[in-house]
Amino acid sequence: MDGTVFNIQRFAVHDGPGIRTTVFLKGCPLKCFWCHNPEGLRREPEIFFQSSKCIGCGWCFNACPQNCHRLENGVHLFRRENCRRCGRCAEKCYAEAIEIIGRTMTVPEVLAEVMKDKLFYANSGGGMTVSGGEPMLQFEFTRALLKAARRAGIHNCLDTCGFAPFDDYSQILEDVDLFLYDLKATDSDKHCALTGMPLAGILDNFFRLDKAGARIILRCPLIPSLNDDDEHLKNVAVIANKLCHVQEINLLPYHPLGRDKGQYLGCPDKGIEFECASESKIMHYLQVIGEHTEIPVRKA
């Protein structure tokens, strides 16, 4: 069973309890335009190019069968339109200016990487988090990975946007100890506008998972001027209150990391930037939600 993995992050300390290893799977059905992991959007591997790191050695020029890399007036140009994403340029780039994002891995390969920090999980109550992208988009792989990790005695978290057939969720239910379930908007029109996908199915899955007994941490990215109004915050609390198994609500205030990454992937349109919430604004978020629910709320 193969999957497309774009990162395996050890000592991930914000994706669930304890010290964790987060496996990032490539591809996402949503198109949130603040996305902080734009390298996880597309399903297929792609080339990440940071021209500022280029040392002008020219090794990639010869490596590329499509002649996509050229030097013009002392500037390294990358003609992405001809690129077939073979990654040979990245192999030869010792300055780490060109990287290939997304590699094919088997379940045992990923699990071996995850198992390296087993001792740390035991001492911290941590484990593996499968994230993305949207891991449910590579459902077969995700299911196999969770099962293999479960057999190895690993605590499993699944970080999901909720946009997948419920039948898929029900198949992995017993192998997931904790869902990190994203909620980006509480108004259906707004949800469509912000993420490109409807809210209804996501909410439906959310309620059905809860009913099935899944333990859930509700995670809310808050983007100034888009979804950080009091109405939304209140609705988050109201929705969470309707459920029995929400352990916590985590707020994820916007950070502009995705902005730069978009450029390096050749998607400059991903460069929309928002202001970062001030400490006092974050306090306000916590307060508004806290007023409407007994469920613990904190900044992730």
Q: Which parts of this chain interact with other proteins (CB under 8 A)? A: 9-15, 18-19, 50, 52, 55, 57, 59, 93-96, 116-117, 119-120, 123-124, 126, 250, 252-257, 260, 276, 299-300
Query: At its nearest, how many Å lie between other proteins and the CB of residue 85?
Result: 20
Q: At what angle do helices 230-241 and 279-292 cross, to 10 degrees?
A: 40
Query: At its nearest, how many Å lie between other proteins and the CB of residue 218?
Result: 14
Q: Which pair of tokens denotes residue 48?
A: 């990440």
**CB nearer to other proteins: pick between 169 and 254:** 254
Whole-angstrom Cα distance, residue 259 to residue 155? Answer: 33
Query: At its nearest, how many Å lie between other proteins and the CB of residue 252?
Result: 4
Q: List residues bridging with 249 in a β-sheet.
A: 218, 297
**CB nearer to other proteins: pick between 1 and 252:** 252
Residues 130 and 158 sit within 8 Å (Cβ to Cβ): yes
**CB nearer to other proteins: pick between 87 and 253:** 253
**CB nearer to other proteins: pick between 54 and 239:** 54
Query: At its nearest, how many Å lie between other proteins and the CB of residue 213?
Result: 26
**CB nearer to other proteins: pick between 163 and 264:** 264
Q: Which pair of tokens denotes residue 175?
A: 């192998």
**CB nearer to other proteins: pick between 78 and 254:** 254
Cα atoms in the 13 Å half-sphere on the side-chain side of 156: 24
**Residue 78 carries which side chain, given as an amino acid letter?**
F
**CB nearer to other proteins: pick between 109 and 260:** 260
Query: At its nearest, how many Å lie between other proteins and the CB of residue 57?
Result: 4
Per DSSP, the three-state class of 32 is: coil
Cα atoms in the 13 Å half-sphere on the side-chain side of 118: 10
Query: At its nearest, how many Å lie between other proteins and the CB of residue 154?
Result: 14
Whole-angstrom Cα distance, residue 6 to residue 27? Answer: 10
Whole-angstrom Cα distance, residue 197 to residue 32? Answer: 9
Query: At its nearest, how many Å lie between other proteins and the CB of residue 35?
Result: 13
Residue of 94, 115, 86, 104 lying closest to 6 (CA atoms):
104
User: In 192-294, which ranges are E strands?
Assistant: 216-222, 246-253
